[in-house]
Amino acid sequence: MPRRGRIGKAELRALAAFRYQLRRFLRFSEDAATRAGLTPLQYQLLLQVAGWPGSDGPTVGELAERLQRAQHGVVALVTRCEDAGLVERRAGQDDRRRVYVCITPVGEQAVRSIAGAVRRELASMRHVFRIEHLSDDDG
């Protein structure tokens, strides 16, 4: 009787291959951001702000969760992005005490440029991640 929870060689190979492909993809994304003049973390922040589902934009706390970073570090990152003209802070319309991070046209252009290259790379890796729905027609 096999031991419960034992991971076999085939699973280890699959996990190792997945980790390798994931790291390759992340490296591509990081390099694309650098070529565009952004740090990889700035690109990640812009991507989260641009892709935020709400209409107001995310708060710093929500960005910290999405980026898996400490809130004080994200405050500094937002400030650097704001100084570069990529994002701006806006008070909430319903509650002026809440501050939201919103992307600027410059930030939008930068994130879309990088995301286009990243999307093409991800599409080329479709077989690795078993991605079924990835298209170029969603803007």
pLDDT tens digits, 54-106: 888 999 999 999 999 999 999 999 999 999 999 999 998 888 889 999 999 99
Unique residue bearing structure tokens 């650098």: 34
Please report the pLDDT score of residue 18 as a whole number: 86
Domain ranges in the chain are 9-128
CATH class of 9-128: mainly alpha
Tell me the chain's radius of gyration from C-alpha atoms: 18
- The two structure tokens encoding residue 78: 């937002």
Please report the pLDDT score of residue 136 as a whole number: 47
Please report the pLDDT score of residue 122 as a whole number: 86
The alpha carbon dihedral of 58, 61, 66, 72 has a sign of: positive
- Tell me: pLDDT of 123 over 90: no
Please, are residues 42 and 81 in contact by the beta-carbon 8 Å criterion? yes
Is residue 114 packed enough to be buried (19+ CB in 10 Å), middle (13-18) or exposed (0-12)? Answer: buried
